[in-house]
Each structure stands twice: as structure tokens, then as C-alpha cells.
């Protein structure tokens, strides 16, 4: 049953300290939505959102945390743990619980191309949601621009003016995670997006060399991209304590980039938001602090 006119629905945002989840909480707050921010790290979420957002502890692996989050929620934004090749085994029991508890709309953060890969955990989650009978919306973003501004890539650019990935010269239509959050906010605010799947990309496909050039131009110093091998990628991830199966998922993603599967530009984002997606140049201008050494 759709809610009566004027009734504010209650939205649970999972992964609330993640790249998209944290932005989504801010956007829903600006819209005056009733939200709970679900996270394994409530202190971190409270520090970010302040007192205006209700934060609730939520861990897919800890069933005792589920009720406080889902028994309240009409709509759920679902963030699967990243790079986990078995994320469906962790997420499906949780989403089933949410549906049984009365949630009537699931917006899933999936990934570009999931529809063509039945063996992908994200596709299995999509299929499960389709089978529950609730309203659903799938967001299928390409790789986020934000990945260059966090983790080992950001550190490598900041400290050495270079980054290495096994992408060869392939192009990628990187998307701004803030745009993904904006689409999520729009789709969580009405029933108009039920049964829809959106492929979310940036406005252009760029090579990693072009990415390095744009970051370097914003910083006013030389930044270089070095094409590497998958073995070199695994070696980079080891000191970062990436579990082996997640490193393999990362390597698989790079293979899909080299195969050209990540270069398509989609109009879905502009269709939902009524504006063009953010350019890499714009993103870099806003994110430049991520690559600036402290004290310089």
C-alpha cells in the first residue's frame, strides 16, 4: 500500500559511512526525510552527521542488530560489502528480514553490467530482491571517481605523484559517487522508480593517463599513470590487508576495464536528475585536498 498523502516515509540508509551512503544521508536530510543511518561504526557516523541524524548500529553479520534498523523502515538503501564475491550470502538474509518486517521498497547499490553476469554476487542479490515482491530499484554505477581520492591510490598520488593499475590504455566512464547518492535520494523519495534499473556513468570515458593528467593539472604538479600487471596489483593490495578473494574480485574488475566493458556512457543519470553528470575535472577540483601533502 502506498502511504497516505502527506505521510513522511521512513528510510534506512545502510553503509552510512561509505562513499555513497554518507552522501545519501546528507541529501536525504536536506530533503527533510525521516532517516536512520545504519552503520557498524556509530561513533564515526555521529561525528560526521551531528545530532540531526538518528544513527543505529547495523552489521549484516550480527542478527541482533537488525531489528532496531529494519522494523522501523518503509524503504531501505542497501549497500553490499564491496569486493566480497559472496556478499549475497551475507546480504540476502538481511534483506529477507527487512521485507518480512514491512519494508516496501529496496534500492540496491549494484554495479554496471551486473545484469549480464548471473554468477556475480550482486546479480544474485538483484534476483533475490526481484523475487520478494517488494518495489525495487537497482543502481548500477560504473567505477567511482572517488576511488582515486581514497585508499592506496590517493596515497600513491600524494606521496609519489604516480599510480599503477593493470588497466592498459582502456577508457572508463568514471562516475562521481555524489551523483550516485543524488540518484539514490531521488529514487528513495517516490514510487516512480519501482522496477527500474539505472546504469550510472560520468559524461565521458577517460583513460587512466587522462585521469592522471587531470589530477596533475589541478595540483599544478606532474602526476603519472603507470600501466601495471595483475600480479603487481596483488602485491600492492597485500600490505593493505585485502583478503585474497577480494583482491581477486579487484583483479577481475581490472580485466573488465581492459576488455572495454567500462567505457559506455549512459544517459540514465541525466534522465533521473534532469542535469548532466559531474565531469572528472569538476570532481578533481573539489577533491584536491586528498592529494595534498600535510604542511605543503
Ligand X SMILES: NC(=O)c1ccc[n+]([C@@H]2O[C@H](COP(=O)([O-])OP(=O)(O)OC[C@H]3O[C@@H](n4cnc5c(N)ncnc54)[C@H](OP(=O)(O)O)[C@@H]3O)[C@@H](O)[C@H]2O)c1
- 61: contact with ligand X by CB under 6 A: yes
- Cα–Cα distance for residue pair 63/201, rounded to 1 Å: 35
- 141: contact with ligand X by CB under 6 A: yes
Q: Are strands 206-207 and 171-172 parallel, antiparallel or unpaired?
A: antiparallel
Alpha carbon separation from 65 to 38, 96, 166, 167 (Å, rounded): 10, 15, 39, 40
Is the Cβ of residue 62 or residue 285 nearer to ligand X in the bound state? 62
DSSP run (H or E) holding 13: strand 10-13
CB of 41 to ligand X, least distance (A): 5
Of 57-65, 67-75, 98-106, 282-290, the window that binds ligand X (rule: CB under 6 A) is 57-65
- 277: contact with ligand X by CB under 6 A: no
- Applying CB under 6 A, which of residues 11, 78, 143, 157 lies at the interface with ligand X? 143
- Concatenating the DSSP letter of every residue in 153-203 gives HHHHHHHHSEEEES-TT-EE--B-HHHHHHHHHHHTT-STTTTEEEEE--S
- Applying CB under 6 A, which of residues 12, 17, 153, 184 lies at the interface with ligand X? 17
Could you tell me the three cell numbers for 29? 536530510
Is the Cβ of residue 17 or residue 291 nearer to ligand X in the bound state? 17
> Is 154 within 8 Å of 214 (Cβ atoms)?
no
CB of 217 to ligand X, least distance (A): 22
- 117: contact with ligand X by CB under 6 A: no
Is the Cβ of residue 33 or residue 108 nearer to ligand X in the bound state? 108
- Applying CB under 6 A, which of residues 27, 55, 60, 193 lies at the interface with ligand X? 60
- Applying CB under 6 A, which of residues 29, 34, 48, 59 lies at the interface with ligand X? 59
- Cα–Cα distance for residue pair 154/147, rounded to 1 Å: 8
- Cα–Cα distance for residue pair 252/247, rounded to 1 Å: 9
Size of the site for ligand X (CB under 6 A): 25
CB of 291 to ligand X, least distance (A): 18
- 272: contact with ligand X by CB under 6 A: no
CB of 122 to ligand X, least distance (A): 6
Is the Cβ of residue 15 or residue 203 nearer to ligand X in the bound state? 15
- Cα–Cα distance for residue pair 163/287, rounded to 1 Å: 17
Nearest-CB residue for ligand X: 18
Instruction: Enumerate residues 71-110 that contact ligand X by CB under 6 A.
Output: 79-82, 109
- Cα–Cα distance for residue pair 11/257, rounded to 1 Å: 34
Alpha carbon separation from 287 to 65, 151, 215 (Å, rounded): 34, 14, 9
Taking the CA of residue 145 as centre, how many other CA atoms within 13 Å lie in the half-sphere pointing to its CB?
33
- 166: contact with ligand X by CB under 6 A: no
Collect all residues with Cβ–Cβ distance below 8 Å to 264 and sequence separation of at least 6. 112, 173, 199, 201, 205
> Is 54 within 8 Å of 36 (Cβ atoms)?
yes
Is the Cβ of residue 9 or residue 179 nearer to ligand X in the bound state? 179
Is the Cβ of residue 123 or residue 158 nearer to ligand X in the bound state? 123
CB of 295 to ligand X, least distance (A): 28
Of 39-47, 157-165, 272-280, 283-291, the window that binds ligand X (rule: CB under 6 A) is 39-47
- Positions in the binding site for ligand X (CB under 6 A): 14-20, 39-41, 58-61, 79-82, 109, 111, 122, 141, 143-144, 147
Amino acid at each position: 500500500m502506498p502511504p497516505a498523502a502527506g505521510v513522511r516515509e521512513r528510510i534506512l540508509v545502510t553503509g552510512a559511512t561509505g562513499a555513497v551512503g554518507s552522501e545519501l544521508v546528507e541529501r536525504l536530510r536536506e530533503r527533510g526525510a525521516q532517516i536512520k543511518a545504519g552503520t557498524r561504526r556509530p561513533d564515526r557516523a555521529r561525528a560526521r552527521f551531528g545530532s540531526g541524524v538518528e544513527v543505529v548500529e547495523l552489521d549484516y553479520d550480527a542478527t541482533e542488530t537488525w531489528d532496531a534498523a529494519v522494523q522501523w523502515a518503509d524503504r531501505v538503501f542497501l549497500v553490499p560489502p564491496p569486493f566480497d564475491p559472496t556478499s549475497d550470502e551475507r546480504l540476502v538474509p538481511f534483506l529477507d528480514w527487512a521485507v518480512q518486517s514491512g519494508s516496501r521498497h529496496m534500492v540496491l547499490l549494484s554495479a554496471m553490467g551486473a545484469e549480464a553476469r548471473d554468477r556475480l554476487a550482486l546479480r544474485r542479490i538483484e534476483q533475490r530482491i526481484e523475487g520478494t515482491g517488494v518495489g525495487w530499484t537497482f543502481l548500477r554505477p560504473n567505477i567511482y571517481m572517488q576511488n582515486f581520492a581514497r585508499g592506496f591510490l590517493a596515497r600513491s598520488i600524494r606521496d609519489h605523484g604516480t599510480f599503477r593499475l593493470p588497466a592498459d590504455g582502456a577508457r572508463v566512464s568514471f562516475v562521481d559517487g555524489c551523483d550516485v547518492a543524488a540518484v539514490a535520494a531521488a529514487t528513495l523519495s517516490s514510487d516512480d522508480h519501482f522496477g527500474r534499473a539505472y546504469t550510472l556513468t560520468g559524461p565521458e570515458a577517460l583513460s587512466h593517463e587522462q585521469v592522471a593528467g587531470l589530477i596533475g593539472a589541478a595540483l599544478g604538479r606532474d602526476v603519472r599513470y603507470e600501466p601495471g600487471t595483475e600480479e603487481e596489483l596483488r602485491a600492492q593490495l597485500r600490505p593493505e590487508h585485502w583478503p585474497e578473494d577480494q583482491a581477486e574480485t579487484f583483479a577481475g574488475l581490472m580485466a573488465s576495464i581492459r576488455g572495454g566493458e567500462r567505457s559506455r556512457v549512459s544517459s540514465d543519470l541525466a534522465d533521473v536528475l534532469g542535469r548532466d553528470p559531474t565531469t572528472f575535472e569538476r570532481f578533481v577540483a573539489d577533491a584536491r585536498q586528498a592529494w595534498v601533502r600535510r604542511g605543503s
